[in-house]
A and B are shown apart, each in its own frame.
Chain A
Amino acid sequence: MIDRSFIGKTFPPLHVDVEAGQLRNFARATGQRDPVYTDETAARAAGYRALPAPLTFLFTLDQDREDRFYFINAMGIELGHVLHGEQAFTYGAPICAGDRVTLTCTCMDIYDKKGGAMEFVILKTQATNQLGEDLGSMTGTIVVRDPK
């Protein structure tokens, strides 16, 4: 069972750079056909100061760390038993290439269902940029099947 004392814990903030190549790579890997996400000129014509990060990209920025399974490891969760249950985003200022984003992740809740056969971890990540602008947030629900 996951230690419930993680509830309310905030992990150390992560500072990440948003790079144009990384955004183009993501667009190609997802079959994106809108040139706004790959072509600087199209992005500027659409009113962005540089290539915009797509709607789900905060999730990818959060992976830019030495230990991308940081909370899974910290909580002693078996990686092979992890499923993604839900994911939600709210949006503030756009995230664009060249930005430096600070992500702060807090464990909002941990609970179990089916007599402990499944555990749920809710993590909320707030994001701001180098100007202090609010970029919105993401909330993920991680499901752990057959937890140890």
Chain B
Amino acid sequence: MNAFAHDVTFDSVEVGDSLPAVTSKPISRTTLALFAGASGDHNPIHIDIDFAKAAGMPDVFAHGMLGMAYLGHLLTAWVPQRAVREFSTRFVSITQVHAVVTCTGRVVEKREGNLVALEIEAADQNGDVKLAGKAVVELP
């Protein structure tokens, strides 16, 4: 049995339903270095503390797109990726090194055409919201 098998249908979801939450491992400096390499986002503010300090920041901090990748996992653990029609987020606050990010989401609207609108969020271990986003999925 594939843990990522999907059986969500338009008729099976209701407004207010929650998506199963997804939690990251703690974000280390190594996480940021590997993500810089893998994502191609080489902005030194995420990997070079000297650069970050010179830019007036106390430390390096996580790439916004790392948090968005985690939000993507929330969506594709719930429905197949091809169901996702739109996915967007605001980067609400900086995600610090050592954060553990938990992604949550809920159904906010069912629309014509088997479309389901979601509100999604990534928050750290203190409950501080880091990313606040939306998605639209098309369900069978």
> What is the interface of chain A, defined by CB distance below 8 A to chain B?
22, 25-26, 28-36, 42, 46-47, 52, 54-56, 59-64, 68-69, 79-91, 94
B34, CB-defined interface residue at 8 Å: yes
Judging by beta carbons under 8 Å apart, are B66 and A34 in contact?
no
Asked whether any CB of chain A lies closer than 8 Å to the CB of B10, the reply is no
| A89 & B4 in contact (Cβ 8 Å cutoff) | no
Contact of A88 among B56, B63, B88 (CB under 8 A): B88
Docked-complex contact B81 and A94, CB < 8 angstroms: yes
Q: Are B81 and A30 in contact (CB under 8 A)?
A: no
B25, B39, B76: the one within 8 Å of A59 (CB): B39
Is there a chain A Cβ closer than 8 Å to B38's Cβ? Answer: yes
The contact of A80 among B31, B40, B54, by CB within 8 Å, is: B54
Contact with A along B8-36 (1 / 0, CB 8 A): 00000000000000001100000100110
| A81 partner residues in chain B, CB cutoff 8 A | 55
Residues of A within 8 Å of B38, CB to CB, are: 22, 25-26, 28-30, 60
B125 contacts A by Cβ under 8 Å = no
Which B residue's beta carbon lies closest to that of A30? B69
Q: How far is the CA of A42 from the CA of B68 in the complex (A)?
A: 24
A61 surroundings in chain B (CB, below 8 A) = 40
9 A–B contacts from the bound complex (CB under 8 Å): A29-B34, A30-B73, A34-B77, A35-B4, A47-B80, A55-B84, A56-B72, A68-B41, A84-B65
The CA-CA distance from A28 to B66 in the complex, in Å, is 12
Are A29 and B73 in contact (CB-based, < 8 A)? no
Contacts of B43 in A (CB 8 A): 69, 79, 82
The answer, yes or no, to whether B129 is at the interface (CB within 8 Å) is no
Task: Select A54's contact among B40, B55, B81, beta carbons within 8 Å.
Answer: B81
- The minimal Cβ–Cβ distance linking A95 to chain B, given in whole angstroms, is 10
Shortest CB distance B97–A (Å): 16
Cβ of B85 and Cβ of A29 under 8 Å apart? no
Alpha-carbon distance A62/B42, docked complex (angstroms): 12
Given contacts A87-B68, A89-B87, contact A29 B37 (CB under 8 A): yes
Q: Is the CB of B87 within 8 A of A63?
A: no
Query: In the bound complex, what is the Cα–Cα distance between A62 and B41 (angstroms)?
Result: 10
Complex interface bits, B84-97 against A, C-beta within 8 A gives 1, otherwise 0: 11111111000000
Distance of A52 Cα from B84 Cα, bound (Å): 13
